[in-house]
Amino acid sequence: MGTLEDVVEGKNYVFPVEEESILKYWNDTDAFKEQLRRSEGRPEYVFYDGPPFATGLPHYGHILAGTIKDVVTRFACSTGHHVTRRFGWDCHGLPVEYEIDKKLGIKGKDDVMKLGLDKYNEECRSIVMRYSKEWEKTVTRTGRWIDFDNDYKTLDPNFMESVWWVFKTLWEKDLVYKGFKVMPYSTACNTPLSNFEAGLDYRDVSDPAVMVSFPIIGCELGAALVAWTTTPWTLPSNLALCVNPGFIYVYVKNSAGKVFVVAEMRLGSIPGTAKKAKGGNNGGLADGWEIVKKVTGAELKDLRYEPLFPFFTDLMQATAFKVCCDAYVTDDSGTGVVHQAPAYGEDDYRVCISNGVVIKGGALPDPVDANGCFCYPVTAPFEGKHVKEADKDLIAAIKDMDRLVDNSRLVHSYPFCWRSHTPLIYKAVASYFVKVEEIKSQLLENNKKTHWVPAYVQEKRFHNWLENAHDWAISRNRYWGTPIPVWCSEDGEEVRVIGSIAELEEATGAKITDIHRHFIDHLKIPSSRGPGFPHLKRVEEVFDCWFESGSMPYAQQHYPFENKEYFEKTIFPANFIAEGLDQTRGWFYTLMVLSTALFDRPAFQNLVCNGLVLAADGKKMSKSLKNYPDPNKVINEYGADALRLYLINSPVVRAEPLRFKEDGVFSVVKDLFLPWYNAYRFLVQNVRRVEEETGKAFDPYAPDQDAVNVLDRWIASATSSLVTYVRSEMEAYRLYTVVPRLVSFIGQLTNVYVRYNRSRLKGKNGDDDTRRALAALFNVLLVLCKTMAPFTPFFVEKMYQNLRRCLPNQGDTEPSVHFCMFPKAAVDALNTRVEASVALMQAVIETGRQIRERNNKALKTPLRRMIVVHADGDFLNDLLGELRDYVVEELNVRQLDVCGDLMQYATVKAEPNFASLGKRLGKAMGMVTKAVKDMSQDDILMFQKTGTFSVGEHILGAEDIIVKHEFRVPEGFTKEDVDAASCEEDVMVIMELKVDQTLIDAGAAREFVNRVQKLRKSAGLQAFEAVTVFFEPTKGANKQALECLLRMIANETAYLEESVGCVPQPVAAKPVHAVVIASEACSLSTGAGFVATLTRPAVVVDDAALTVTCNGVAELAAAVAAVVLSREYCNLKHECHAGGGMITIKVDGKEVDLRAGQELRFD
């Protein structure tokens, strides 16, 4: 019959292949959409998916974040929610343009314009979804359920239109302005980068480090200020020098009469000034040098100096080339004098603005073009050269002017463009800014309204980022992106911001189907000042793609043009988002800024932040270095479930880095999935065995199958506790606490429940007890399937498809485990006493194994007695009662005793806890240490009761004293005869180690059983297949060893029959007609050698007794015997059992009654 389908052995279960079959099942049944359909009408659980670029392939970071998202959203659906899951694509920005620039050899704006903006942008459009199918394949293969058909793309006109609305709303709130900002700038990509992007690729580089003199105008000493810089290319744009007003500066003169001004603390940085003392230490000022004057930095303020280069002398003479003061100047490097080029340094710009060198919003000397090359007014030989390449020529020119004080090299960490891998420069660029600083207080308040896991990322990293946030530059001088919807007059007097396609159509009279640059840049808006004024033209900039991704909550819904009420009432803010730690300065930040600016509320309620996945050596994963395994290869080797669980059960879910190791994924398969699968297979095997033996279908919900056995009650209680714990932790988004508990539970299920109950599940205690045990195991596995469904969707689906065959209507109401609700904790099954007692029993068993191991007492050899000492009477009663057989069997002891008084077998001593007391006591530590070590037994017992102990004026608490129990050998025993060890909660386990011949024989019997079981396995026998065992001493066997073997079999008959299903017999007793299954030479540790033979069970006919029954007619007896031996063993045995131990054989019209145990015998 077979309620459950048979399953293969664990070694033959190929996880990736089985996962592919589940993928097909999901696809055939449209499982994801069916789940959405079934959950319609439930409360909406809102999830926002951050958009990745589809110009590259997914890596482990994407798989990790996708797994976290899938786990949380599957759990939300199983707890009574409807969860819309739309995939998103980031289609604009530098990553796309960079690919096209490489393809077409684009070097700068001129090349783009020469090609044509329309052709360039359409080239970009053609590749944005280049790897979308690979993404869909990989994401689907990892088990993630998300909607690719109803995805959102940042290039869709509806999405872009909502971005326009966001910008116009901010403009109307006066939260946008246009200004200059010194930003990291990629000369290869012709665009500024955010600080976040600039931090993606730092490298150690060797740069020139020069000291340059700036003669002070009108100085009687003829002194010159000396500034130090590692960017000589910025010197042609020098407009000021900056000193620290609080530092002391010295005028120092050398033997040639030159006077230099530097910070006193940095005097030694000037070549030749420092006298070298013995040992290489600074020995003061070198000969020929003298300090002629000391001043404060504040006294140097407004001194004027001679410009280094003439390029901006005429333009800036009135306000520039003077000394400024600011505390940002440090004394840890350089000369204490910093050269200021406001177009190329954030602090330079700030200092020059505050000191009137340049005017905010005014002209800014910037002789570097978009490609990073010098341009007018810089002249030859520098003009046209890339700034980094011009360093050498600039240094030579400065030397020729006699202004070069020192020229050296410095190795330091420097930012590179993460796309072009070229050095960045810092450059002032015109940009549109969001006034983040103006809404900083609201940002900080809204951050408090969100829940992050782990919390420290929110409370420290993100809070600090918000607290120090500057205005956000949101525009880029690029081509492929959402255009900034600003139209301006040439004189800048008239500005119009467009907030929708309809508004632009109305303003221009044009029909608009696409709003990328090449579709709208030519559109002009008539001036509101009248026909005599020129039309307004659109500004060239496009939005930074981070502005687009930060707008996704609104843009994916085409808000406010569609779904307005649905958005405002149902899907904003999101219940949950998740991405990597790097997004604290990226997507998390832009979401928070825009939602705060628009609605003064956070865009999300809960956030899970993961760490970075690194290569095994701790380095960043690199395609070029090939320092990590291909994700698809790992999935095809071990399965997606194993990869998911490996990632989730790691520090990376706590926002810490993970060194990815393929061995770790294999360990998940070996240590978790295979034991779990074997427990499931064991259930299937024994359900099928019971059904075959009894002819009755297995029903896990049949009446009168309530848990009676202690381990049945324990596993039911532990399962209920697990469900409660998982629900609580998942509701708090603490995935990193959930998976270890799940892993631990599966270990308990396989290593305790199944292991300890194998004989029960195999039918040792009769059909009724077996069905109770199978029902208990079935229910645990079913609940575990539903609990683990969000984490390991493939494996539990495969298991559920078989288990549901035992459910009412074969589970047709819930054809997938992912349609099932998350299980409810069975409150009536909770039993804290049983859970506590079994936990202590496990500790006792583990401690007993350790005692055996350290005394070289193999588990196969029984020990006479063990004693468990503990103060908890309930536990001791349980141990002597329901738990006794498990302890005795697992530790192979003949007698188990308990004792409630630890002092009968131990002495106690006290030691001070130095970690607790050291800081507190100081010099008194020695006195307190002596007093604690001198505590008497009574003192220690009183301390354990009261929790305090006084030493002079010092009162010690429970955490200050460590109480240790030391085993005391009982009277009548030697140290060799007995050993003990303590485990958790002051449980002491004592074991008698002395063995005699009886115990040795019992150990040999266990070995004999082991050899038979191995022979059964090698013969491919199933657990329910009965055999008869015969043995024959090997030729030339030791006579004494043979006697030991025969004695062992005679003395351990009951154990052997119970363990192998029959009493082993000499091979001489083997019926001639018995079918041999397997035969193998074996040996025991006693030295006995024998050949074990397994045969199919056979009927043995007693010829003499049968002849008597046949009234001495030998021919009739032979005919009856022939009929009996031709019958199938099981059917004949079943017929005899049904007949009360008798069967009737008809031969030639004659009936002969045969009785079991007389004329015939069943092996």
Strand extents, DSSP E, 913-1064: 949-951, 954-956, 961-967, 978-983, 987-992, 1028-1033
Strand extents, DSSP E, 123-199: 147-153, 176-186, 191-192
What is the separation, in whole angstroms, between the first and last Cα of the chain? Answer: 26
Comparing 102-106, 463-467, 1038-1042, the range with the smallest average pLDDT is 1038-1042
pLDDT of residue 1068: 84
Say yes or no to pLDDT of 1163 above 90.
no
Contact 407, 395 (CB under 8 A): yes
- Phi first, then psi: give them for residue 912, nearest 5 degrees: -70, 145
SS3 325: strand
Query: 288-308 pLDDT, tens per residue?
Result: 899 999 999 999 999 999 999
Say yes or no to pLDDT of 1158 above 60.
yes
pLDDT of residue 277: 61
Say yes or no to pLDDT of 1032 above 80.
yes
Integer CA distances (angstroms), 615 to 59, 74, 136, 142, 635, in order: 12, 29, 24, 20, 17
Query: Cα 178–182–188 angle (5° rounding)?
Result: 105
Buried b (16+ CB within 10 A) or exposed e, 579-593: bbbbbbbbbbbbbbb
Question: What does pLDDT average to over the chain?
Answer: 89
pLDDT of residue 21: 96
CB-based contacts of 24, cutoff 8 Å, min separation 6: none
CA atoms within 13 A on the CB side of 387: 30
1131 CB burial (10 A radius; 0-12, 13-18, 19+): exposed
For residues 816 and 34, give the distance between their C-alpha atoms in angstroms, rounded to a whole number. 10
Contact 93, 127 (CB under 8 A): no
pLDDT (mean) for 988-1013:
88
For residues 266 and 247, give the distance between their C-alpha atoms in angstroms, rounded to a whole number. 10
Query: Cα 276–280–284 angle (5° rounding)?
Result: 35
- The pLDDT confidence band at residue 1, using thresholds 50, 70 and 90, is very low
For residues 101 and 120, give the distance between their C-alpha atoms in angstroms, rounded to a whole number. 9
DSSP string, 33-58: HHHHHHTTTSPB--B-PPPPBSSS--
pLDDT of residue 282: 57
Comparing 246-250, 352-356, 774-778, 966-970, the range with the smallest average pLDDT is 966-970
Query: 948-982 pLDDT, tens per residue?
Result: 888 888 888 888 888 877 787 888 788 888 888 88
Number of Cβ within a 10 Å radius of residue 750: 19
Query: Cα 819–824–830 angle (5° rounding)?
Result: 150
Sign of CA dihedral 1014, 1018, 1021, 1027: negative
SS3 1144: strand
pLDDT (mean) for 1025-1043:
83
pLDDT above 70 coverage of the chain, percent: 99
SS3 146: coil
Closest CA to 286 of 266, 301, 267: 267
Comparing 151-165, 352-366, 673-687, 842-856, the range with the smallest average pLDDT is 352-366
Per the omega criterion (within 30 degrees of 0), is the bond before 560 cis?
yes
pLDDT of residue 1162: 79
Query: 309-318 pLDDT, tens per residue?
Result: 999 998 898 8
Q: Which residue has the higher pLDDT, 706 or 1007?
A: 1007
pLDDT (mean) for 715-741:
92
For residues 506 and 820, give the distance between their C-alpha atoms in angstroms, rounded to a whole number. 53
pLDDT (mean) for 517-521:
95
Query: 410-452 pLDDT, tens per residue?
Result: 888 999 987 788 899 999 888 899 999 999 999 999 999 999 9
For residues 912 and 921, give the distance between their C-alpha atoms in angstroms, rounded to a whole number. 12
Write 1065-1068 long-range contacts (CB < 8 A, 24+).
Answer: 1065/1028, 1065/1029, 1065/1030, 1065/1031, 1066/1030, 1066/1031, 1066/1032, 1067/1030, 1067/1031, 1067/1032, 1067/1091, 1067/1093
Integer CA distances (angstroms), 1124 to 637, 1071, 1128, 1135, 1150, in order: 54, 13, 9, 12, 14
Query: 563-582 pLDDT, tens per residue?
Result: 898 998 888 999 999 998 88
Query: 322-362 pLDDT, tens per residue?
Result: 999 999 999 888 999 999 999 999 899 999 999 999 987 67
Comparing 62-66, 123-127, 612-616, the range with the smallest average pLDDT is 612-616
Task: Note the helical H segments in 1071-1110.
Answer: 1103-1109
Which two three-digit tokens encode residue 828? Answer: 């009536």
pLDDT of residue 908: 79
Which two three-digit tokens encode residue 965? Answer: 């129990």
pLDDT of residue 294: 95
